[in-house]
Chain A
Amino acid sequence: AQKVTQAQTEISVVEKEDVTLDCVYETRDTTYYLFWYKQPPSGELVFLIRRNSFDEQNEISGRYSWNFQKSTSSFNFTITASQVVDSAVYFCALSAYLSINAGNMLTFGGGTRLMVKP
């Protein structure tokens, strides 16, 4: 069974602060993928990043950075110098690959609501 835990349900910061969203996962698979999605109030889930289980290299994209640590089963997301437009719900997700003909299933964490105040 797979599980994703986002312990922080809500975080409130003031603009320009740095903020880290935590994600811890459980899986018995040796090959798996981790994702972060952003869901603004409009409802659409916006893909941010995918990381496979064999690539522990951290990644930076502009103000966003991700820290994948297999030893602690964590895939944390940091926003540097947060902005009001970053306000959204952020979901961490884990993908189980079923088969070439069955697609893949995403197991989502509960989400973290980030509020960035001006």
Chain B
Amino acid sequence: DTEVTQTPKHLVMGMTNKKSLKCEQHMGHRAMYWYKQKAKKPPELMFVYSYEKLSINESVPSRFSPECPNSSLLNLHLHALQPEDSALYLCASSPLLVSKNIQYFGAGTRLSVL
């Protein structure tokens, strides 16, 4: 099973709202990732968590706040977003072993900020 589950699939929010994206995997992977993908562009890395600790933050604005409550769950908390933050948000997970470093992706959350 190589499934990464993301909820919700679609989200529409206003600029003053607070919402959260959720990602779950049960493959025992100890690395989890958030990516942002704009239309007709490749995914861009936002955050990397390893062993439930933030290891990489690619200079993402503070209106995006990641959280990794346990080894299976990854959240992305959204607050005061801008219309330009509308995108597909992808979650991925991978083992930390170099020999098995394949990232498996979820289907994403399509976010629209009005």
Contact = CB atoms under 8 A, between A and B. Distances in A.
Interface of A: 33, 35, 37, 42-47, 50, 91, 95, 97-98, 100-106, 108-111
Contacts of A110: 41-42
B21 interface: no
A43 B108 contact: yes
A42 B94 contact: no
B66 to A, nearest CB: 13
Nearest to A91: B42
Contacts, number: 71
A109 B42 contact: yes
A43 B110 contact: yes
Contacts of B68: none
A95 B104 contact: no
A103 B96 contact: yes
Contacts of B15: none
Contact of B107 (A44, A47, A100, A103): A44
B99 to A, nearest CB: 9
Contacts of B56: 98, 102-103, 105
A105 B108 contact: no
B62 to A, nearest CB: 21
